[in-house]
């Protein structure tokens, strides 16, 4: 997590001030319920709020760090500093609780906060994709399979495909948020032996979380595995779109191009260069986010009721995955919003292969006129191979092939090379994709 690929709104979630604030609220809300249940004095619970409810300034954070350096335990250090603020009544804080009650619940709150930002990011990306898709809906371009010219599509249809993919990703984030938004205040080994389950219900309600049905001192890590896996899928989709743009920006293609600003330089050695640096960067960032799904899955298998082998992993991947994905989504949105599209070049490429893109329609028409599919394929392919060898264009060659002209009327044959045939259902697809 470095400033180059970070945005303050997301990084602030993982800063000590926010973390300790959440820890305090967990402890203070728990004290309120304990007081209501008669476990601790009501005056003591109120005092926690009155004296402890202060911003976690750098001085307070430094004090916690100083204590932790001695006691080697972060939650104890936090409670020690809080006791210094509250006084003797702080002895009633953390009654019946264990460190994981604070750490796990806080981690889930932070993930929820982060996911809310990611969903906002996704909405902005979807809006950009929709806008550009409609702008380019009728701009025909080459569709490719295996990187080779196949049949015509439109550039807007390409973007509609990515819109649908990221719409699914938005749903994945919503589901991931719901699954991760749980609270555990169940005490050592999760039996509620020293704390009433109603305390957990109260804290969960105050923090906007659901109660974890069963926690073995820790919240089950399959939840976190699913969460980081969802982030990995989103990252893969970012790479998917970034890779498409990178391919289309190649000099030999140049159908689209990342916006190149005035004064921007593409190479320290070659002044002519305009490189797809943003989408290349996004490809790399996607690899980072995706790589964090594996350790999250390995965290599922903890020993017995708990161990802390997951802790060091999550202290890294929690901030890194969410911060990186947040940055990547916003960068991708910027790329889409400012993407330069070259319709003339798309048209030029469509006509580059001498009409080969219409080969399937000729094949199908031959079958409609009584020729077997095998013979139809053979007839069209032998003419197509001549086009590959630069011996003419497909329509001209077909017009001189007696096996073709004996079956298909000339006017019908010429009509088979109509670009509109391939784009006639684009509106239908758009209607299916853009239902909101």
Which active-site residues does the annotation give? 146, 267
Place of tokens 């203070």: 28
Cα 42 from Cα 34, distance rounded (Å): 8
Longest dimension (CA), the chain: 102
The helix/strand/coil state of 28 is: helix
Contact, 215 vs 195, CB < 8 A? Answer: no
Cα 235 from Cα 322, distance rounded (Å): 11
Copy the structure tokens of residue 194: 């020293």
Cα 227 from Cα 109, distance rounded (Å): 13
The helix/strand/coil state of 143 is: strand
> Which residues are CB-neighbours of 377 under 8 A, at least 6 positions away?
363
Q: Which long-range contacts (CB under 8 A, 24 or more apart) does 72-75 make?
A: 73/99, 74/99, 75/23, 75/99, 75/102, 75/103
Cα 384 from Cα 392, distance rounded (Å): 9
154 strand-pairing partners? 140
Contact, 158 vs 141, CB < 8 A? Answer: yes
Copy the structure tokens of residue 248: 């289309």
Q: Which residues of 347-358 are buried (b: 16+ CB within 10 A; e: fewer)?
A: bebbeebbbbbb
Cα 324 from Cα 347, distance rounded (Å): 37
**Can you give 280-314 as a three-state secondary structure string?**
HHHHHHHHHHHHCHHHHHHCCCCCCCCCCCCHHHH
């Amino acid at each position: 997590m470095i400033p180059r690929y970070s945005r303050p709104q997301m990084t602030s979630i993982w800063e000590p001030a926010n973390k300790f604030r959440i820890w305090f609220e967990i402890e203070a809300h728990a004290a309120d319920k304990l007081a209501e249940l008669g476990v601790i004095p009501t005056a003591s619970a109120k005092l926690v709020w009155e004296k402890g409810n202060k911003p976690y300034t750098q001085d307070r954070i430094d004090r916690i760090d100083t204590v932790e350096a001695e006691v080697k335990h972060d939650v104890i250090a936090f409670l020690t500093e809080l006791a210094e603020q509250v006084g003797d009544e702080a002895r009633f804080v953390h009654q019946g609780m264990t460190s994981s009650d604070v750490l796990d619940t806080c981690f889930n709150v932070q993930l929820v906060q982060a996911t809310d930002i990611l969903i906002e990011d996704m909405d902005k990306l979807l809006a950009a994709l929709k806008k550009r898709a409609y702008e380019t809906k009728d701009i025909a371009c080459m569709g490719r399979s295996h990187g080779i010219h196949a049949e015509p599509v439109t550039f807007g249809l390409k973007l509609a495909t990515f819109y649908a993919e990221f719409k699914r990703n938005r749903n994945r984030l919503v589901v991931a948020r719901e699954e991760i938004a749980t609270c555990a205040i169940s005490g050592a080994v999760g039996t509620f032996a020293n704390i009433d389950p109603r305390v957990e219900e109260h804290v969960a309600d105050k923090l906007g979380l659901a109660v974890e049905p069963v926690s073995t001192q820790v919240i089950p890590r399959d939840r976190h595995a699913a969460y980081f896996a969802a982030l990995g899928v989103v990252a893969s989709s970012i790479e998917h779109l970034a890779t498409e743009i990178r391919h289309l920006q190649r000099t030999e293609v140049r159908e689209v191009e990342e916006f190149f600003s005035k004064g921007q330089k593409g190479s320290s050695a070659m002044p002519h260069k305009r490189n797809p640096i943003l989408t290349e960067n996004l490809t790399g960032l996607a690899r980072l986010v995706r790589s964090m799904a594996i350790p999250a899955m390995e965290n599922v298998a903890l020993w017995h009721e708990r161990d802390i082998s997951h802790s060091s992993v999550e202290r890294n991947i929690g901030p890194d995955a969410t911060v990186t994905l947040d940055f990547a989504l916003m960068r991708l949105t910027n790329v889409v919003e400012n993407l330069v599209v070259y319709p003339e070049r798309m048209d030029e490429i469509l006509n580059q292969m001498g009409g080969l893109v219409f080969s399937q329609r000729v094949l199908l028409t031959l079958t409609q006129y009584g020729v077997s599919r095998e013979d139809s394929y053979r007839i069209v392919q032998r003419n197509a191979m001549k086009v590959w060898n630069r011996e003419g264009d497909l329509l001209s060659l077909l017009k001189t092939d007696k096996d073709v002209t004996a079956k298909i009327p000339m006017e019908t044959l010429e009509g088979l090379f109509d670009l509109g045939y391939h784009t006639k259902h684009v509106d239908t697809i758009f209607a299916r994709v853009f239902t909101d």
